[in-house]
């Protein structure tokens, strides 16, 4: 590993449960549909329980509601929130429109555990990435989730970029990332002979993760604490109840529709969150934008043993190389502002990839990149505007007790998921 060869700090490797691509066959039936009776008959029809006895069981003021805490969205952040709330003793149910957990943004990202280097100091992104990274490494180790502290090089390809590395290191230190180290050209030549650059910063705490293994472990933690995920259930509309709590109108794939009431509501619906929240007067959700990120896969073996990122350029992190847990290389994501979800990757975008990659890997062979997958960043600011922070709207923002809405959960949302879950739990405590 590069860490060993650099004699810098190195971390653990655990690829025991690695399976990067999530196939429905990997999901036990119980996980796919843990509450079929609930879906068929509506609230109060939980298996083996009549609605009245269910309500009598519930302690405290939420006994007037069907469930204490509802989470909308079984992406990585919704699942992390649900687990955290269930661990805190709440009765939690997650509603998910698809027939699988984590099949939107959480299934279409780079699976990088970010160190927390570039984000504005003091922002949620900076704080939660740095905290969440440590929580995530611990969680992976304790729960057998595949991951690897593979590290990353931020490479400078000119004297001007060499100077920029100093600024990046200073920003990292301000954010609490204290482990970056400068590597000079000679050392890099020895370590990564295919890399053409003037120098680099080494980030040993950057890693890669099996994101679906992580989500399955979060779901397991939720269910072990009495919570459940209900699939194939789309939330259509939200309503505030005059006496407190929320009514959530849902539709199932069988076209049943009904409403569930809850005392607390977490809207972790990714791209769907602004639209759902717009039904609540005063919620003031942001405008939603879509920025597609396209990936190209390298045919053949990766020439690099670590992640390679160019010095960031205005508007993005540049065309970087990431590795999956099998060390297959892919490049991207780029940034393409779009109006709809179009899952094809346009091969014509490859031209820009070749040019950008050859700035640090001049020997990239012709015709070696093939279009791979894409993901959609749930943006809350439009093209050309300064990047937005994570937006976590709790009662202090919208004035409604027991309601937290999450917006703009783009990168580093995967890395930050456990820290975001702590924050959400604190907001409705």
Ligand X SMILES: Cc1cc2nc3c(=O)[nH]c(=O)nc-3n(C[C@H](O)[C@H](O)[C@H](O)COP(=O)(O)OP(=O)(O)OC[C@H]3O[C@@H](n4cnc5c(N)ncnc54)[C@H](O)[C@@H]3O)c2cc1C
- Give the one residue of 11, 43, 116, 272 binding ligand X; rule: CB under 6 A: 272
| 252: contact with ligand X by CB under 6 A | no
Q: Identify the burial level of 13 via C-beta atoms within 10 angstroms of its C-beta, where 0-12 means exposed, 13-18 middle and 19 or more buried.
A: middle
Residue 199 has φ and ψ, to the nearest 5°, of 170, 170
Please choose, out of 61-69, 74-82, 350-358, 421-429, the segment that lies near ligand X by the rule CB under 6 A: 74-82
Least separation in angstroms between CB 414 and ligand X: 3
| Torsion sign over Cα 15, 296, 358, 172 | negative
Is position 410 an interface residue for ligand X (rule: CB under 6 A)?
A: yes
Smallest gap from residue 163 Cβ to ligand X (A):
27
Kindly tell me which residue out of 149, 411, 419, 421 binds ligand X, with binding defined by CB under 6 A: 411
Could you say whether residue 217 binds ligand X (CB under 6 A)? no
Q: Cβ 97 to ligand X, closest distance in Å?
A: 4
Residue span binding ligand X (CB under 6 A) among the ranges 161-169, 176-184, 270-278, 313-321 = 270-278
Per-residue mark of binding to ligand X, 344-383 (x: CB under 6 A): -------------------------------xxx------
Answer for which of 72, 154, 229, 345 binds ligand X (CB under 6 A) is 72
| Cβ 149 to ligand X shortest distance, Å | 14
Question: Using the rule CB under 6 A, is 415 a contact of ligand X?
Answer: yes
What is the closest distance, in whole angstroms, from the C-beta atom of residue 73 to ligand X in the complex?
3
Contact between 76 and ligand X by CB under 6 A: the answer reads yes
**Which part of the chain contacts ligand X (CB under 6 A), choosing from 30-38, 257-265, 391-399, 404-412?**
404-412
d(CA 111, CA 93): 26
For the bound state, the minimum distance from the C-beta of residue 390 to ligand X, rounded and expressed in Å, comes to 9
98 contacts ligand X (rule: CB under 6 A) = yes
Which one, 162 or 280, has the nearer CB to ligand X?
280
Q: Decide: is 333 part of the binding site for ligand X (CB under 6 A).
A: yes
The residue at minimum Cβ distance from ligand X is 413
- Which x/- pattern over 292-331 shows residues binding ligand X (rule: CB under 6 A)? -x--------------------------------------
Q: Binding ligand X by CB under 6 A: which of 74, 93, 115, 229?
A: 74
Contact between 128 and ligand X per CB under 6 A: no
> Which residue is it, tokens 């190209």?
296
Residues 6+ positions from 111 with CB-CB distance below 8 Å: 20, 208, 209, 210, 211, 322, 324, 414
CB closer to ligand X out of 163 and 426 = 426
Which residue, 105 or 240, is less far from ligand X as judged by CB?
105
User: Can you give the chain as a three-state secondary structure string?
Assistant: CHHHHHCCCCCCEECCCCCCCCCHHHCCHHHHCCCHHHHHHCCCCCCCCCHHHHHHHCCHHHHHCCEEEEEECCCHHHHHHHHHHHHCCCCEEEECCCCCCCCCHHHCCCCEECCCCCCCCCCHHHHHHHHHHHHHHHHHHHHCCCEECCCEEEEECCHHHHHHHHHHHHHHHHCCCCCCEEEEHHHHHHHCCCCCCCEEEEECCCEEECHHHHHHHHHHHHHHCCCEEECCEEEEEEEECCCCCEEEEEEECCCCEEEEEEEEEEECCHHHHHHHHCCCCCCCCCCCEEEEEEEEEECCCCCCCCEEEECCECCECCCCEEECCCCCEEECCCCEEECCCCCCCCHHHHHHHHHHHHCCCCCCCCCCEEEEEEEEEEECCCCCCCCCCCEEECHHHHCCCCEEEEECCCCCHHHHHHHHHHHHHHHCC
| Binding status of residue 110 toward ligand X by CB under 6 A | yes
Smallest gap from residue 48 Cβ to ligand X (A):
25
Does 105 contact ligand X by CB under 6 A?
yes
CA distances from 211 to 106, 119, 183 (A): 7, 22, 30
Q: How far is the CB of 173 from ligand X (least distance, A)?
A: 21
**Residue number, 103 or 228, with CB nearest to ligand X:** 103
Number of residues that bind ligand X (CB under 6 A): 40
Positions touching ligand X (CB under 6 A) are 72-78, 95-98, 102-106, 109-112, 114, 234-235, 268-270, 272, 276, 293, 333, 375-377, 409-415
């Amino acid at each position: 590993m590069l860490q060993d060869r650099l004699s810098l700090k190195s971390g653990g490797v655990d690829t025991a449960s690695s399976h990067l691509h999530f196939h429905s066959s990997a999901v036990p039936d119980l996980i796919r549909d843990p509450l079929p009776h609930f879906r068929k008959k509506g609230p109060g029809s939980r298996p083996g329980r009549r609605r009245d006895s269910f309500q009598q069981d519930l302690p405290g003021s939420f006994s007037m509601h069907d469930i204490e805490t509802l989470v909308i969205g079984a992406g990585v952040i919704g699942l992390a929130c649900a687990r955290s709330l269930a661990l805190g003793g709440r009765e939690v149910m997650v509603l998910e429109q698809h027939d699988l957990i984590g099949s939107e943004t959480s299934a279409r990202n780079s699976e990088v555990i970010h160190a927390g280097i570039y984000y504005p100091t003091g922002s949620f992104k900076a704080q939660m990435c740095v905290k969440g990274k440590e929580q995530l490494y611990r969680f992976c180790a304790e729960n057998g989730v595949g991951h690897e502290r593979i590290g990353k090089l931020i490479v400078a390809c000119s004297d001007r970029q060499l100077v920029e590395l100093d600024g990046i290191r200073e920003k990292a230190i301000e954010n609490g990332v204290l482990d970056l180290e400068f590597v000079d050209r000679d050392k890099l030549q020895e370590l990564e002979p295919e890399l053409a650059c003037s120098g680099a910063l080494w980030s040993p705490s950057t890693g890669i993760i099996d994101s679906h293994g992580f989500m399955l472990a979060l779901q397991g933690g939720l269910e072990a604490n009495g919570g459940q995920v209900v699939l194939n259930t789309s939330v259509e509309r939200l309503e505030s109840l005059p006496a407190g709590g929320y009514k959530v109108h849902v539709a199932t794939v069988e076209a049943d529709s009904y409403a569930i009431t809850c005392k607390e509501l977490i809207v972790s619906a990714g791209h769907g969150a602004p639209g759902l929240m717009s039904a609540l007067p005063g919620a003031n959700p942001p405008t939603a934008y879509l920025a597609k990120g396209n990936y190209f896969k390298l045919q053949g073996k990766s020439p690099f043993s670590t992640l390679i990122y160019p010095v960031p350029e205005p508007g993005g992190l540049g065309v970087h190389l990431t590795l999956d847990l099998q060390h297959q290389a892919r490049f991207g994501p780029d940034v393409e502002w779009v109006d709809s979800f179009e899952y094809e990757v346009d091969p014509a975008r490859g031209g820009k990839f070749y040019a950008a990659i050859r700035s640090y890997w001049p020997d990239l062979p012709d015709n070696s990149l093939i279009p791979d997958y894409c993901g959609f960043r749930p943006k809350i600011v439009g093209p050309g505007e300064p990047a937005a922070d994570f937006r976590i709207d709790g009662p202090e923002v919208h004035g409604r007790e027991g309601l937290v809405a999450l917006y703009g959960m783009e990168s580093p949302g995967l890395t930050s998921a456990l820290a975001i879950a702590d924050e959400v739990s604190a907001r409705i405590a």
